[in-house]
Structure 1
Amino acid sequence: MGIFSGLFKSRDKPQNRTAGNNYTFFMGGTTSGKTVTERSAMQMTAVYSCVRILAEAVAGLPLHLYKYTDDGGKEKAIDHPLYRLLHDEPNPEMSSFVFRETLMTHLLLWGNAYAQIIRNGRNEIIALYPLMPNKMSVDRDENGHLFYTYYRGPDEAIKNKDLAVTLQPSDVLHIPGLGFDGLVGYSPIAMAKNAIGMAIACEEFGAKFFANGAAPSGVLEHPGTIKDPSRVREAWQSQFGGSSNSGKVAVLEEGMKYTPISISPEQAQFLETRKFQINEIARIFRVPPHMVGDLEKSSFSNIEQQSLEFVKYTLDPWVIRWEQSLMRALLAADEKAAYFVKFNLEGLLRGDYQSRMNGYAIGRQNGWMSANDIRELENLDRIPAEEGGDLYLINGNMLPMRDAGAFANTTPNDSGKEEKTDEEVLEVEEPGTDGDGSGGEDSVSQRHHRRGKLV
């Protein structure tokens, strides 16, 4: 590291915490009074829905390893060992979909995704296994080199050194989320724990509201003295408590009177608060509200546009983060110039059938798409090359720029039309001639007659 070794000491190690004490977030305390952790946040339907949408979207995209060809194009590197690991089966225990879905879930909840890289004796990658982010810590040694420590214990709160395993950066696939040091990402749940805590509080309030009979709490007033108030309260609760008892008619004896003392949910705007918190959580993950079931401000005219914006502004940054992390960790230094990893987003950007056909027609007529290019995007069989499947065609009335003046050497006639010069006419082989301009005494008149027909 040279002169830079002094810049990266243990005090500058990568950290994943909010401002203040990092133990504060570990306890999950929020201003709403509800404990919020990555696992408890998943009990919120909005959080679960957003995480599931993004994780399944990334996991469902086609993932290929490509190599550059000599003519400047690209082709799938099917023979490379990484192709099968990324596209089909990263390890014997899970498919590529499950592997990417798991890592994307870790990335959305903890802000980091880790996988152990298993190599053989020839230093070839043979497997990728997910690692839990809450059991991983990233640190620097005295020389400023990064190293990863993974704790194999069952409880994330107890980090026993006897269960610690040290991994080198070459042994870890690390996909960081948004962070302040560029090395470790910050948990979205930690950053938005107050918003999620309020949503949990609203949901709990609604559940208790129906459990208490969907009626406001109040006071039972008695004109005299009650010897056993707890018995009266329990009798009232057994008769009128719970959602199954809502709507019953209460009969009060001995001059008792029931006085409600809490406001109704409508006055407290309970439903509006819950709806706002759902939108707030969707905003955290940048997911359109209609994808989590909120269709209030969506219509048939704007849902398609919102879906395209979801691909462009939400999925695309995650996909780029995945691609670059995979290339950095899995490709050797000499392979990075010849190979690259790419997710295929074309299927999500194609739009409806009519829009796709119009786009294909434009590409076909302008010569930058062949029939096989179109059929490949539509998952159809290729047309054999000898039958014209790979031909690139353009309209016949289009010329290269260099030939734009090829027919400009003409002279206008009296009528304003253009006619060819005598030299050009003489070069035309006329019918009935021998090709050298001779061939009959009327050949000159025929030639002049045909000059009129040229215009």
Structure 2
Amino acid sequence: MKLFGWRESRAEEPQQSEENVSTDYTLRALLGNDEVMTADKAMQIPTYAACVNFIADTIAMLPVKLYKMENDESGKRIIKEIEDDPRVRMLNGDTGDTLSAVEMKTAMLKDTLNHGSSVAYINKAGTKTKSVHYVAFDEFSTVKNEDPIFKTYQIVVGGQRYWPHNFIKIHRATKDGVTGIGVPYQNSEILSVAYQSLGFEKAMVAKGGNKRGFLKTTKRLTNEAMNALKAAWRKLYSGNNDETVVVLNDGMEFQESSSSAAELQLNENKRTNATEICEIFKICPAVLNDKATDEEYNLTIKTAILPLLNELTTALDRDFLLESEKKSYFYAFDTAEIMRGDIEKRYKAYGEAVKAGWITKNEIRAKENMHAIEGLDVVGMSLGDVIFDVEKKTFFTPNTGTVTDGLTPVTAKDIQNPKEGGEGIEG
């Protein structure tokens, strides 16, 4: 195992020099460019920002709960909610930092989606957690060893190195558990197209909606007349004045240029780009417009929200529990508020399962992270049911209290008090 050979890395966004960058967004949109997509640019795209905000805000508002698995007096395994743990308060209310719990979770989720990683420092006194502090993405970096098998790393904040167990860490699309990949890096092409479309639209608005074209004249213009015409034309297309007319001299006319394919299809392209961006986040577009059906909304929750919730709970179980607690404690988000439709379907399924007699109510409570209640470990059956014992090949009818092999009926009394000389039937 290599102990040395550490190297520092940060998932920084590539920078591009502003020198010699064309300001003609229309030409750049038509001809294309090699501009690097960054998180800041991506957040200027309305659909992208809406998707990021929807995911972050939805998860941040969910309460975090702490549970413990233990044995009751009878030795049965039960799940108990721990409500008085100070860490629960930090994850739902006062973190002890300048950010509230909701603000901290929102910031971490946005960093995770935009940059691939996010961290929050766990301030401890011995084994007791005193506070939790969010660290912005551009305020930390990582230093890791060069061994591809026995991976080790440290987190650097303000020039000081810390071991990973001092932080709550979330990574997206990670391959080493140290750094992640943000959505703008993983989907740069479609986001670049959407961003350049914004630039194209901006250029059209800046021109005040005036059509592009060129001037034709049968006479040669003097330099003075040429300069005056250019000034008037520049003012017309600046979009910052009230003049919408340029008076042309005798023998001069304006020839309108035909609209480009990009101009004609701008709105259609915007809708297509928006749909593709939603697909990146696995969000149904109608959800962002509050027009989604229950099926579309529930599908979005399952595909866009629940995977990140699993990442968060895994991070909390790994980083926010003591080693001695990890065998019996676990964190979970209360998703009842965002899964109303699914709860109704789930509870209906539970009802059918209890009615069919193949699950107990305490087993259902365990699935819902609820503690067991004495007396609910029974399976209900109808007296009209006939129960077949697949091992003994016998039938038992609760309504009559008889057991039969399919031919000769046997009463429940015969089971308990077999006739003299008979072998009886085991119950």
Q: Distance in 2 between matches of 1:304 and 1:213?
A: 42
The alignment partner of 2:77 has SS state of coil
Does the CA contact (< 8 Å) of 1:32 and 1:197 recur in 2? no
Of 95, 111, 131, 1:127 maps to 131
1:57-88, Cα deviation, whole Å (9 max, x unpaired): 21122311100020222111123332222233
Of 77, 83, 89, 2:82 maps to 77
Counterpart of 2:142 in structure 1 is 138
The alignment partner of 1:73 has SS state of strand
Cα gap change, 1:408/1:393 in structure 2, threshold over 3 Å: closer, same or farther? closer
Does the CA contact (< 8 Å) of 2:117 and 2:172 recur in 1? yes
Of 229, 232, 235, 2:229 maps to 232
TM-score by length of 1: 0.70
Of 6, 13, 16, 1:10 maps to 6
1:168-207, Cα deviation, whole Å (9 max, x unpaired): 2232221111123232112222232333222121112112
Q: Distance in 1 between matches of 2:277 and 2:406?
A: 74
The alignment partner of 2:181 has SS state of coil
Greater displacement, 284-293 / 108-117: 284-293
1:83-98 equivalences under 5 Å are 83-98=88-103
Displacement of 1:294 after TM fit?
A: 10
The alignment partner of 1:348 has SS state of coil
Counterpart of 1:216 in structure 2 is 211
Q: Any unmatched runs of 5+ in structure 2?
A: 19-27, 397-401, 415-427
1:14-413 equivalences under 5 Å are 15=9, 25-27=14-16, 32-34=33-35, 36-70=37-71, 71-120=76-125, 122-140=126-144, 145-151=152-158, 164-226=159-221, 227-239=224-236, 242=239, 252-261=248-257, 263-264=259-260, 268-293=264-289, 303-351=293-341, 355=345, 358-359=348-349, 361-362=351-352, 365-366=355-356, 368=359, 393-398=380-385, 401-402=388-389, 405-406=395-396, 407-409=402-404
Root-mean-square deviation (CA, aligned residues, Å) is: 4.1
The alignment partner of 2:113 has SS state of helix
Q: Distance in 1 between matches of 2:175 and 2:340?
A: 36
Q: Distance in 2 between matches of 1:342 and 1:181?
A: 25
Displacement of 1:209 after TM fit?
A: 0.8
Quick one: which amino acid aligns to residue 141 of structure 2? S
Q: Distance in 1 between matches of 2:376 and 2:174?
A: 49
The alignment partner of 2:176 has SS state of coil
Displacement of 1:315 after TM fit?
A: 1.9
Does the CA contact (< 8 Å) of 1:140 and 1:147 recur in 2? yes
Does the CA contact (< 8 Å) of 1:36 and 1:193 recur in 2? yes
1:283-331, Cα deviation, whole Å (9 max, x unpaired): 3322222233497xxxx7xx43333332223222211111111111111
Q: Distance in 2 between matches of 1:410 and 1:166?
A: 75
Q: Distance in 2 between matches of 1:166 and 1:38?
A: 26
Counterpart of 2:425 in structure 1 is none
Point out the structure with the larger strand share. 2
1:189-229, Cα deviation, whole Å (9 max, x unpaired): 22323332221211121122122132321112222122332
The alignment partner of 1:25 has SS state of coil
The alignment partner of 1:351 has SS state of helix
Larger radius of gyration between Structure 1 and Structure 2: 1
Displacement of 1:252 after TM fit?
A: 4.0
TM-score by length of 2: 0.74
Does the CA contact (< 8 Å) of 2:354 and 2:360 recur in 1? yes
Cα gap change, 1:33/1:128 in structure 2, threshold over 3 Å: closer, same or farther? same
The alignment partner of 1:228 has SS state of helix
Q: Distance in 1 between matches of 2:348 and 2:307?
A: 28
Cα gap change, 1:327/1:389 in structure 2, threshold over 3 Å: closer, same or farther? closer
Does the CA contact (< 8 Å) of 2:52 and 2:113 recur in 1? yes
Does the CA contact (< 8 Å) of 1:65 and 1:83 recur in 2? yes
Cα gap change, 1:396/1:99 in structure 2, threshold over 3 Å: closer, same or farther? farther
Cα gap change, 1:148/1:355 in structure 2, threshold over 3 Å: closer, same or farther? closer
Q: Distance in 2 between matches of 1:177 and 1:60?
A: 20
Q: Name the count of aligned residue pairs.
A: 381
Cα gap change, 1:174/1:411 in structure 2, threshold over 3 Å: closer, same or farther? closer
Cα gap change, 1:78/1:168 in structure 2, threshold over 3 Å: closer, same or farther? same
Displacement of 1:411 after TM fit?
A: 9.7
Does the CA contact (< 8 Å) of 1:28 and 1:35 recur in 2? no
Q: Distance in 2 between matches of 1:119 and 1:410?
A: 68
Q: Distance in 2 between matches of 1:130 and 1:28?
A: 31
Cα gap change, 1:252/1:204 in structure 2, threshold over 3 Å: closer, same or farther? same
Q: Any unmatched runs of 5+ in structure 1?
A: 152-163, 378-384, 413-417, 428-455
Does the CA contact (< 8 Å) of 2:67 and 2:81 recur in 1? yes
* Larger RCO, structure (CA 8 Å, separation 6 or more): 2
